[in-house]
């Protein structure tokens, strides 16, 4: 029996409603209407350690409503109708429609067409079909009326601190390096989103250390993981034993970073911080095609396209935030090099493992997963001790053995350079597997610039020179892509081009 995409429309409706806004909390009800007439509900919550909302302000209720909608953007393929009840203006509605359609297409390609082990066998082998529109649901917005022009929309843009940076933080190397650099140069505000599940384990070490040493540290508690898991349990095309399947992917969702990001916005707005930083490196911006369908390799919310789309939305809303990554020109290996060489105390807090466990008052990595063998391999290739961030000698040996028979989840050139370094330093044995993977790619340790993934146009002018000067101390030069080849370029040449930031008020390319 052939499977069609319409067979995945398994809910009559999903309704996001009953939004409650309190000074330190917002909550919203998610109600799911099933095709058999049954309804089930759950509650999404964001909670803060300080006051961030004034429930009497329409702007605050508006932001809370848009926060409440983010989880629902994953389910446009599976519902006849999605109803957003709250305080939404036309800008929010346009943004949510666009984000849902993009997410629907990504989920179609990477969760339904791909070999997804979470799907029941009878729902696999979907025939690819290029469509004009991938979202099945009709979106309806209802609820609170939009204030008249002059009452809310004619307010001047807030004056924000250009030298302050909110960092969407975790225990990973990307956010740790972002914090280290920005804390050294400017005013850094590390904000940790505490999911109610085990994902918090990766942030535990870094959060508790910064809470004691960095006064700008803050935490947002959110139970979005419970809503995600609750939704998966309602889906008849997902295997019943999905929780027992060990995999590096989620069963369905792909719009995840924004769920955390919107939880950070009330703090950024309250503290009048201009810059919102998400730590993403060179290899997270990809635009590809499969069966004629353009997609973003399931990495859209880690790409520069996402940062730019959110910055446009902030501009339309009059919030005046700039969202970007300071790490776009760096490979994963170069990120780890700068972190461990310049900020070893921060690197000791790193937990890049989703199966970490608590021991001796801190979180310890499992030492068995792909992320662990990748981190151990990179640290050893950099002549550093993985024991500094919690790996035991036994785990380090196990990771080396795993690398001798398994690859790592990196771009081909990044993985090739890693295996080249490991073999050159005789840290792993030379066998058919490692020999095939190893190849010297000098650009991996250089600053990379090109028109798509990494260019200065995507970064405000005021941070470019100090940032690149720091990077220059640890990189092996800089290169720019020209006709499929990397060509050497000096940072002085790059900076002298003085290309305006895409979202500068003086730049007409908005």
Q: What is the pLDDT of residues 283-313, one digit of tens each?
A: 899 899 999 999 999 999 999 999 999 999 9
Q: Is a pLDDT exceeding 60 seen at residue 150?
A: no
pLDDT digits (tens, 9 = 90+) for 420-430: 999 999 999 99
In a domain, 341, yes or no: yes
Q: For residues 254 and 110, is the Cβ–Cβ distance under 8 A?
A: yes
Same-domain pairing of 434 and 469: no
Same-domain pairing of 174 and 311: yes
Phi, psi of 12 (to 5 degrees): -70, -45
Same-domain pairing of 348 and 476: no
pLDDT digits (tens, 9 = 90+) for 113-123: 998 999 999 99
pLDDT at 155: 67
User: Residue 201: which H helix or E strand, with range?
Assistant: helix 200-213
Across 40-62, average pLDDT: 97
pLDDT at 415: 92
pLDDT at 153: 52
For all residues of the chain together, what is the average pLDDT?
93
The CA distances from residue 249 to 117, 237, 246, 352, in Å, are 10, 17, 9, 15
User: Residue 376: which H helix or E strand, with range?
Assistant: helix 370-381
Q: pTM of the entire structure?
A: 0.94
Across 190-196, average pLDDT: 90
Same-domain pairing of 426 and 458: no
Across 219-242, average pLDDT: 94
Sorted by sequence, the CB contacts under 8 Å of residue 161 that are 6+ apart come out as 187, 271, 272, 273, 274
pLDDT at 242: 81
Same-domain pairing of 457 and 424: no
pLDDT digits (tens, 9 = 90+) for 65-108: 999 999 999 999 999 999 999 999 999 999 999 999 999 999 99
Higher pLDDT, 235 or 246: 235
Instruction: Report the DSSP pairing between strands 79-86 and 187-195.
Output: unpaired
Q: For residues 295 and 106, is the Cβ–Cβ distance under 8 A?
A: yes
- Tokens standing for 88? 């939404």
Across 477-486, average pLDDT: 93
What span, in angstroms and rounded, lies between the C-alpha atoms of 176 and 467?
Answer: 15
Q: How confident is the model at residue 3 (pLDDT cuts 50, 70, 90)?
A: confident
Same-domain pairing of 393 and 369: yes
Into how many domains does the chain fold? 3
Sorted by sequence, the CB contacts under 8 Å of residue 275 that are 6+ apart come out as 162, 164, 165, 166, 321, 322, 323, 324, 460, 463
In a domain, 503, yes or no: no
In a domain, 501, yes or no: no
List the single range of 60-69, 137-146, 262-271 with lowest mean pLDDT. Answer: 137-146
Q: How confident is the model at residue 505 (pLDDT cuts 50, 70, 90)?
A: low
pLDDT at 154: 58
Q: For residues 67 and 265, is the Cβ–Cβ distance under 8 A?
A: yes
Instruction: Report the DSSP pairing between strands 161-169 and 39-48.
Output: unpaired
Total Cβ atoms within 10 A of residue 366? 14
Q: How confident is the model at residue 249 (pLDDT cuts 50, 70, 90)?
A: confident
Q: Is a pLDDT exceeding 60 seen at residue 361?
A: yes
Q: For residues 327 and 335, is the Cβ–Cβ distance under 8 A?
A: yes
Q: Is a pLDDT exceeding 60 seen at residue 152?
A: no
In a domain, 478, yes or no: yes
Q: Is a pLDDT exceeding 50 seen at residue 510?
A: no
Same-domain pairing of 49 and 162: yes
Across 470-494, average pLDDT: 95
pLDDT at 10: 95
Same-domain pairing of 337 and 314: no
What span, in angstroms and rounded, lies between the C-alpha atoms of 144 and 22?
Answer: 17
Tell me the sheet residues that pair with 4: none
Q: How confident is the model at residue 509 (pLDDT cuts 50, 70, 90)?
A: very low
Q: For residues 264 and 166, is the Cβ–Cβ distance under 8 A?
A: yes
DSSP string for residues in 4-41: -GGGG--EEEEEEEEEEEETTEEEEEEEEEETTS-EEE
What span, in angstroms and rounded, lies between the C-alpha atoms of 84 and 59?
Answer: 17
Same-domain pairing of 356 and 479: no
Q: For residues 128 and 291, is the Cβ–Cβ distance under 8 A?
A: yes
In a domain, 509, yes or no: no
Same-domain pairing of 459 and 470: yes
Same-domain pairing of 144 and 192: yes
Q: Is a pLDDT exceeding 60 seen at residue 255?
A: yes
Higher pLDDT, 4 or 177: 177
Same-domain pairing of 351 and 372: yes
pLDDT at 506: 42
In a domain, 378, yes or no: yes
At residue 290's C-alpha, the angle toward residues 285 and 296, to 5°, is: 20
Q: Is a pLDDT exceeding 80 seen at residue 54?
A: yes
pLDDT at 228: 95
Radius of gyration of the chain (CA): 23
In a domain, 115, yes or no: yes
pLDDT at 1: 61
In a domain, 510, yes or no: no
Higher pLDDT, 228 or 248: 228
pLDDT at 384: 97
pLDDT digits (tens, 9 = 90+) for 363-418: 999 999 999 999 999 999 999 999 999 999 999 999 999 999 988 888 789 999 99
Domain containing 379: what range? 332-444
Higher pLDDT, 243 or 218: 218
What span, in angstroms and rounded, lies between the C-alpha atoms of 416 and 420?
Answer: 6
List the single range of 57-71, 120-134, 171-185 with lowest mean pLDDT. Answer: 120-134
Q: Is a pLDDT exceeding 50 seen at residue 444?
A: yes
Residue with tokens 């843009």: 157
CA-closest candidate to residue 271, choices 319, 223, 318: 319
């Amino acid at each position: 029996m052939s499977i069609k995409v319409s067979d995945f429309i398994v809910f009559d409706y999903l309704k996001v409603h009953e939004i409650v806004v309190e000074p330190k909390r917002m909550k919203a009800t998610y109600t799911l209407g099933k095709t058999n007439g049954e309804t089930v509900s759950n509650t999404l919550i964001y909670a803060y350690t300080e006051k961030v909302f004034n429930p009497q302000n329409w702007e605050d209720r508006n932001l809370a409503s848009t926060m409440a909608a983010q989880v629902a953007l994953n389910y446009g393929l599976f519902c006849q109708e999605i109803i957003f009840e709250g305080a939404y203006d036309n800008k929010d509605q346009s943004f949510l429609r666009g984000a849902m359609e993009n997410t629907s297409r990504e989920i179609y390609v990477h969760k339904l067409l791909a070999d997804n082990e979470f799907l029941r066998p009878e729902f696999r082998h979907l025939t690819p079909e290029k469509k004009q529109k991938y979202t099945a649901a009709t979106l309806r917005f209802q609820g609170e009326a939009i204030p008249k022009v002059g009452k809310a929309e004619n307010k001047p843009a807030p004056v924000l601190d250009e030298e302050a940076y909110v960092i969407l933080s975790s225990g990973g190397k990307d956010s740790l390096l972002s914090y280290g650099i920005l804390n050294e140069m400017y005013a850094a505000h590390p904000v940790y989103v505490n999911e109610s599940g085990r994902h918090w384990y990766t942030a535990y070490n870094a959060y508790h250390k910064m809470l004691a040493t960095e006064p700008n540290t803050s935490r947002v508690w959110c139970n979005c993981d419970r809503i995600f898991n609750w939704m998966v349990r309602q889906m008849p095309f997902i295997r019943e034993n999905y929780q027992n399947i060990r995999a590096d992917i989620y069963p369905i969702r792909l719009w995840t970073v924004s769920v955390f990001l919107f939880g950070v916005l009330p703090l950024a707005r309250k503290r009048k911080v201009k810059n919102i930083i998400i730590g993403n490196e060179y290899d997270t911006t990809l635009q590809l095609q499969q069966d004629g369908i353009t997609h973003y390799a399931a990495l859209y919310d880690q790409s520069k396209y996402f940062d730019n789309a959110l910055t446009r939305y902030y501009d339309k809303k009059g919030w005046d935030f700039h969202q970007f990554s300071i790490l776009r020109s760096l490979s994963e290996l170069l990120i780890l090099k700068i972190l461990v060489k310049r900020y070893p105390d921060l690197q000791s807090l790193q937990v890049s493992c989703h199966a970490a466990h608590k021991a001796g008052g801190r979180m310890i990595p499992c030492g068995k997963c792909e992320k662990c063998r990748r981190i151990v391999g990179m640290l050893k290739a950099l002549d550093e001790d993985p024991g500094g961030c919690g790996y035991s000698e036994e785990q380090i040996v196990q990771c080396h053995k795993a690398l001798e028979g398994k690859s790592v989840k990196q771009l081909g050139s990044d993985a090739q350079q890693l295996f080249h370094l490991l073999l050159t330093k005789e840290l792993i044995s030379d066998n058919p597997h490692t020999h095939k993977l190893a190849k010297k790619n000098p650009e991996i340790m250089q600053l990379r610039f090109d028109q798509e993934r990494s260019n200065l146009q995507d970064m405000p002018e005021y941070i470019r020179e100090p940032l690149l000067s720091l990077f220059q101390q640890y990189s092996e030069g800089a290169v720019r892509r020209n006709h499929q080849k990397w060509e050497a370029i000096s940072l002085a040449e790059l900076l002298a081009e003085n290309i305006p930031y895409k979202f500068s008020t003086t730049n007409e390319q908005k």
